[in-house]
Structure 1
Amino acid sequence: MAGVEVTATDLVVSLEPDSDVSRLNLIAPDGAAFARRTVTAGATTVRIPILDPGVRRIQDRYQPGEHEVVVVTNGETHRIPVALEPDLRLTDARATIDEETTEATGHITVEVTNDGSGPSWVHHIVYADAPYPDANESLFEPTSLPQLEAPQNPEDVIIAPGESKSYVGFRRPLQFPDPPNHDCSYGPIEFQVIGGTAYGPNFRGNLSVTTSGQPNGVWNRHICSEATVELETVQEED
Structure 2
Amino acid sequence: MNELSRRDLLALGAGGLAMLAGCSESAPVESPSVFEDVSFEGTDMVVDLRADHDIDRVNLVSPDGTLFTSATVPVGATTVRLQVLDLNPGAPEHYVPGENTLIAVKGSEAIEKLVTEIVPNLSITTVSARPKSSDHAGQLAVEVKNTGTGPSWIHQITYDGAPNFAANDDLSEDPGVHLLSEPNNREDSIIAANERRSYIGTSPPLIYPENGSVATDCTGEVHLTVFAGTGTGSAISADILVRPNGEASVIGSFGDFTCSAAEITKERGSQ
Normalised-by-shorter TM-score class? 0.7 to 0.9
Distance 1:24 1:104 in 2: 45
Deviation at residue 165 of structure 1 after TM alignment? 0.8
- Give the Cα–Cα distance (whole angstroms) in 1 for the partners of residues 99 and 84 of structure 2: 14
> Aligned runs of 1:121-160 on 2, under 5 Å?
121-160=153-192
Counterparts of 2:135 and 2:104 in 1: how far apart (Å)?
55
1:68-83 to structure 2, matched below 5 A, reads 68-73=101-106, 75-83=109-117
CA distance in 2, matches of 1:30, 1:51: 18
Counterpart CA distance in 2 for 1:40 and 1:137 is: 47
> Which structure shows the bigger proportion of residues in strand conformation?
1
Q: Distance in 2 between matches of 1:203 and 1:234?
A: 14
Aligned to 1:196, which of 221, 229, 232?
229
Where does residue 92 of structure 2 map in the other structure?
59
Larger radius of gyration: 2
Are the equivalent residues in 1 in contact too, given 2:143–2:199 (CA < 8 A)?
yes
**Aligned-partner Cα distance in 2 for 1:223–1:108:** 12
Whole-angstrom CA distance in 2 between matches of 1:165 and 1:96: 15
**1:34 CA displacement:** 1.8
* Structure-2 change in CA distance of 1:92 and 1:103 (3 Å): same
Counterpart code for 1:66: E
Shift of 1:208: 1.5
Query: Contact 1:58/1:145 (CA < 8 Å) preserved in 2?
Result: no
Contact 2:92 2:175 in 1 (8 A): no
User: TM-score, with normalisation over the residues of structure 1?
Assistant: 0.86
Q: Distance in 1 between the 2:135 and 2:260 partners?
A: 5
Q: Distance in 2 between matches of 1:130 and 1:233?
A: 19
Residue equivalent to 2:265? 230
Residues in 2 aligned to 1:191 and 1:38: alpha-carbon distance in whole angstroms? 49
Which of the numbers 234, 238, 241 marks the counterpart of 1:208? 241
The answer on whether the counterparts of 1:131 and 1:173 sit within 8 Å (CA) in structure 2 is yes
Structure 2 residue 63 is the aligned partner of structure 1 residue 18: no
| Unpaired segments ≥5 residues, structure 2 | 1-33
**C-alpha distance in 1 between matches for 2:236 and 2:270:** 6
Question: What does the per-residue CA deviation read over 1:159-195, in whole Å, with 9 as the maximum and x for residues that have no partner?
Answer: 111111101111111111237845x322232222122
Percent sequence identity over matched residues? Answer: 34
Count of matched residue pairs = 232
Larger helix fraction of residues = 2
Q: Do the aligned partners of 1:8 and 1:161 also contact (CA within 8 Å) in 2?
A: no
SS of the residue aligned with 1:156? Answer: helix
* Displacement of 1:138: 1.9
- Residue from 120, 126, 138 that aligns with 1:86: 120
TM-score with structure 2 setting the length: 0.77
Following TM superposition, by how much is the alpha carbon of 1:46 offset from its aligned partner in structure 2, in angstroms?
0.6
